């Protein structure tokens, strides 16, 4: 925490500013984020300009928390930038900073001070003249000097007046600019903490941001220029098998493109399902097909060659893959999720794992956590971790370890680990979810990360990439895999049942085909209804999780969490019930190991026993949440 305190009473000259008008304004940004601001205008500002103060979130309570031992409201001084704020110019980071500031302040309560100081105080036309000089090679500060201006002509006296007029003389300041803190401090505003803004870097503004970092000591940790390539604007995917499709290009798929390509994989996955189960791992052909379709890049940020898609497309992909093979859906869902987890790590690790623009495949497990001992340069870890889905196809492993009372996640090359052949199960056999063993394995410090920081909304990767999903709690995606795979598998079972009813002749009946039997018709209707119930619960859970998807919300309320987890569990249960009903009405031949229905039943039975959807504990904790009693399992 950085402290900046005034040593004297406020130094604002002239009469104090007074509020002339308050008006409520609903805000909506281009990405869909919404907030409500109380906008204040003033009489008596030092420079006579029409500056604004936007009161956001619980600002009244934040003012009450401004005692010396507390923190005060969060405040951002934002200088007007017509080109960035309104037109979305990529030459600066002003528009993304404005969007970020409104969200951050609204979450905790505070003020956005919008100052009419275009171009660091030189005006709009002069700023555009400066752009022309920058095109000729000058940096942003050199261009201002060349036009006869100072490097930065902004004065924050009016900002201090506005803050003082609402009683905000003790604040937390959201900024990377040390001059803002220095000026406010000299004007009598006590700053209890400097909160750094995100780094909204792109290829177009990298030089501009580097000049701010190097010339005026802005606290900016810029990613390498190679990691800030502009996001491609097209959404047409390359053909499977081309270099672009296999990860050597940053071509972007839209949601519809990705789902269409995944849908085309379903027949191939069905053909390979028996082999997948027999070998107890996915075939290399399936892995390569999913790479070509873009499955493993869907949750990677654009800055590392990913598509930056959201929660709903992710769950839809898992559901579609399960219509072909539940083991494939389970494995691919987790491998894609782990790419997203790696994007939450600091830059040094991302440079390593995302090198070459490919999506790194990593197994991840914390069941149970291993142990870690501090050694020079890192940690020595030991343990036996279970359920490492996809480890046979992974280059990396993300392993949970305990160091004293602290939980860490360690990033380890799979080549340094022992993977015993222990995955012999009734269902999901093709996931290859084997154990992982290590004994006193050295892990360098930079490949370890505090679990709390990794799981937080403000993780290191969220400061690197403009990808709202990185602010979403880690468990949100984990909880979606089992019910999404169960739903897709149940839909496949219903499809097979329909085909069977329309052609099968049942012994000891008079009908030419089973579909002509009223009992069979009733059974199909009931199975259909159960699948529809599973889908509706699944969609409701997606709706709740998507509240976090855009970065609009830091967390769900207890009531929302209870409803979300309950819907996911009930979706899984309804899917399993539908499959059991289908099996009971499909005759004895479907129990042959060569028939897909028996494999679907075994896979779904295992899926619904996963802790994320296991019905008994979910019912208990959801009931507590819905009754307002609080959860007894903090991670629920």
Q: What is the pLDDT of residues 582-599, one digit of tens each?
A: 999 998 888 988 899 999
549 part of the active site:
no
Q: What is the pLDDT of residue 94?
A: 93
- Report how far residue 411's alpha carbon sits from residue 493's, in angstroms, rounded to the nearest whole number: 38
pLDDT score of 123 more than 70: yes
pLDDT score of 60 more than 70: yes
pLDDT score of 2 more than 80: no
CATH code, 244-355: 1.10.540.10
- Report how far residue 425's alpha carbon sits from residue 428's, in angstroms, rounded to the nearest whole number: 7
pTM higher than the cut 0.75: no
Mean pLDDT of 230-239: 36
Q: What is the pLDDT of residue 634?
A: 79
Fold classification of 356-456 (topology level) = Butyryl-CoA Dehydrogenase, subunit A; domain 2 (2.40.110)
531 to each of 326, 341, 494, 514, 579, how far by Cα in Å?
16, 31, 8, 21, 9
Q: Considering only residues 552 and 453, tell me which one the structure prediction assigns the higher pLDDT.
A: 453
Taking only Cα atoms into account, the Rg of the chain, rounded to an integer number of angstroms, comes to 28
Q: What is the pLDDT of residue 548?
A: 83
pLDDT band at 40 (very low <50, low <70, confident <90, very high): very high
Q: Considering only residues 366 and 338, tell me which one the structure prediction assigns the higher pLDDT.
A: 338
pLDDT band at 136 (very low <50, low <70, confident <90, very high): confident
- Report how far residue 342's alpha carbon sits from residue 345's, in angstroms, rounded to the nearest whole number: 5
In percent, the amount of the chain with pLDDT more than 70 equals 91
Nearest residue to 583 (alpha-carbon basis) of 564, 556, 604 = 604
Mean pLDDT of 199-220: 82
Q: Tell which CATH classification among 3.40.50.300, 1.20.140.10, 2.30.110.10, 1.10.530.10 matches the domain 475-626.
A: 1.20.140.10
400 to each of 76, 409, 416, 433, 453, how far by Cα in Å?
37, 5, 16, 16, 13
Mean pLDDT for the chain? 88
- DSSP label at 248? I
500 part of the active site:
no
pLDDT band at 245 (very low <50, low <70, confident <90, very high): very low
**467 C-beta neighbours (distance < 10 Å), count:** 23
Mean pLDDT of 255-281: 92
pLDDT digits (tens, 9 = 90+) for 418-469: 999 999 999 999 999 999 999 999 999 999 999 999 998 889 999 999 899 9
Mean pLDDT of 376-400: 95
Cα four-point dihedral sign 603, 608, 613, 617: negative
Give the domain ranges of the chain. 18-117+154-218, 244-355, 356-456, 475-626
CATH code, 18-117+154-218: 3.40.50.10990
Q: Which of 134-148, 152-166, 479-493 is least confident?
A: 134-148
Under 8 Å between Cβ of 581 and 526: yes
Mean pLDDT of 550-567: 86
Q: What is the pLDDT of residue 223?
A: 66
pLDDT digits (tens, 9 = 90+) for 486-536: 999 999 999 999 988 888 788 778 787 888 889 999 999 999 999 999 999
Q: What is the pLDDT of residue 212?
A: 85
- Report how far residue 396's alpha carbon sits from residue 410's, in angstroms, rounded to the nearest whole number: 10
- Judged on CB neighbours under 10 Å (0-12, 13-18, 19+), 506 is middle
Q: Are strands 18-28 and 34-43 parallel, antiparallel or unpaired?
A: antiparallel
**97 C-beta neighbours (distance < 10 Å), count:** 23
Mean pLDDT of 235-245: 34
Mean pLDDT of 222-249: 40
Q: How far apart are the first and last CA of the chain?
A: 31
- Report how far residue 12's alpha carbon sits from residue 562's, in angstroms, rounded to the nearest whole number: 51
pLDDT score of 50 more than 60: yes
- The residues facing 39 across adjacent strands are 23, 54
Given 85, 93, 129, 152, the catalytic residue: 152
Whose tokens are 């097979």? That residue is 496
pLDDT band at 15 (very low <50, low <70, confident <90, very high): low
Q: What is the pLDDT of residue 233?
A: 34
Q: What is the pLDDT of residue 199?
A: 82
Whose tokens are 């308050």? That residue is 22
pLDDT digits (tens, 9 = 90+) for 320-350: 999 999 999 999 999 999 999 999 999 999 9
Given 99, 120, 154, 429, the catalytic residue: 154
Residues with Cβ within 8 Å of residue 536, at least 6 apart in sequence: none
Upper half-sphere CA count for residue 330 (Cβ side, 13 Å): 32
Residues with Cβ within 8 Å of residue 541, at least 6 apart in sequence: 480, 483, 564, 565, 567, 568, 571
**546 C-beta neighbours (distance < 10 Å), count:** 17
Residues with Cβ within 8 Å of residue 125, at least 6 apart in sequence: none
Number of H-type helices and E-type strands within the chain: 20, 13
Under 8 Å between Cβ of 300 and 464: no
Q: Reduced to 3 states, what is the DSSP secondary structure of residue 375? A: strand
- Please report which helix (H) or strand (E) contains residue 413, including its range: strand 406-413
């Amino acid at each position: 925490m950085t402290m900046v305190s005034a040593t004297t009473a406020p130094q604002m000259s002239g009469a104090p500013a007074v509020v002339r008008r308050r008006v409520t304004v609903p805000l909506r940004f281009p990405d869909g984020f919404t907030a409500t601001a109380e906008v204040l205008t003033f009489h008596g500002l030092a420079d006579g300009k029409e500056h604004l103060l936007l009161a956001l979130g619980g600002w009244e309570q934040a003012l009450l928390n401004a005692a010396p031992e507390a923190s005060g409201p969060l405040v951002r001084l934002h200088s007007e930038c017509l080109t960035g704020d309104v037109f979305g110019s990529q030459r600066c980071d002003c528009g993304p900073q404005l969007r970020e500031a409104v969200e951050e302040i609204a979450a905790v309560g505070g003020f956005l001070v919008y100052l009419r100081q275009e171009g660091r105080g030189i005006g709009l036309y002069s700023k555009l003249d400066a752009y022309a000089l920058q095109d000729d090679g000058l940096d942003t500060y050199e261009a201002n000097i060349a036009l006869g201006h100072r490097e930065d002509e902004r004065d924050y006296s009016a900002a201090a007046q506005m803050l003082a007029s609402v009683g905000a003389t003790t604040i937390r300041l959201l900024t990377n600019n040390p001059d803002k803190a220095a000026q406010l401090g000299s004007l009598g505003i006590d700053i209890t903490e400097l909160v750094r803004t995100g780094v909204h870097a792109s290829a177009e503004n990298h030089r501009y941001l580097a000049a701010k970092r190097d010339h005026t000591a802005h606290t900016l940790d810029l990613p390498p220029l190679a990691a800030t390539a502009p996001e491609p604007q097209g959404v047409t995917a390359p053909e499977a098998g081309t270099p672009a499709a296999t990860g050597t290009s940053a071509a972007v798929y839209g949601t519809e493109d990705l789902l269409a390509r995944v849908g085309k994989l379903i027949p191939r996955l069905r053909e390979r399902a028996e082999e997948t189960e027999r070998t107890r791992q996915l075939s290399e052909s399936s892995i390569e097909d999913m790479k070509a379709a873009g499955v493993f890049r869907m949750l990677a940020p654009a800055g590392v060659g990913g598509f930056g898609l959201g929660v709903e497309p992710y769950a839809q992909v898992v559901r579609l893959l399960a219509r072909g093979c539940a083991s494939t859906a389970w494995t691919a869902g987790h491998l894609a999720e782990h790419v997203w987890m790696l994007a939450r790590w600091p830059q040094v690790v991302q440079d390593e794992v995302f090198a070459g623009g490919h999506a790194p495949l990593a197994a991840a497990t914390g069941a149970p956590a291993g142990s870690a001992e501090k050694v020079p340069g890192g940690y020595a870890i030991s343990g036996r971790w279970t359920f490492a889905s996809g480890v046979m196809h992974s280059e990396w492993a993300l392993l949970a370890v305990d160091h004293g009372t602290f939980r860490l996640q360690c990033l380890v090359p799979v080549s340094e680990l022992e993977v015993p052949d222990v995955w012999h199960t009734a269902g999901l056999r093709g996931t290859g979810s084997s154990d992982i063993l290590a004994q006193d394995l050295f892990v360098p410090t930079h490949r370890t990360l505090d679990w709390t920081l990794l799981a937080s909304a403000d993780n290191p990767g969220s400061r690197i990439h403009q990808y709202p999903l990185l602010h979403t709690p880690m468990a949100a995606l984990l909880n979606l895999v089992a019910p999404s795979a169960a739903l897709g598998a149940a839909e496949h079972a219903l499809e097979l049942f329909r085909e069977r009813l329309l052609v099968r002749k049942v012994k000891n009946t008079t009908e030419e085909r089973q579909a002509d039997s009223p009992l069979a018709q009733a059974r199909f209707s009931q199975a259909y209804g159960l699948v529809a119930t599973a889908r509706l619960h699944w969609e409701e859970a997606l709706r709740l999780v998507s509240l976090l998807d855009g970065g609009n919300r830091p967390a769900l309320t207890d009531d929302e969490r209870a409803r979300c987890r309950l819907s996911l569990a009930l979706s899984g249960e309804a899917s399993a019930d539908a499959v059991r009903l289908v099996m009971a009405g499909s005759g004895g031949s479907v129990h042959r190991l060569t028939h897909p229905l028996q494999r679907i039943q075994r896979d779904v039975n295992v899926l619904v026993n996963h802790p994320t959807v296991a019905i008994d504990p979910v019912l208990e904790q959801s009931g507590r949440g819905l009754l307002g009693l609080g959860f007894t399992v903090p991670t629920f």
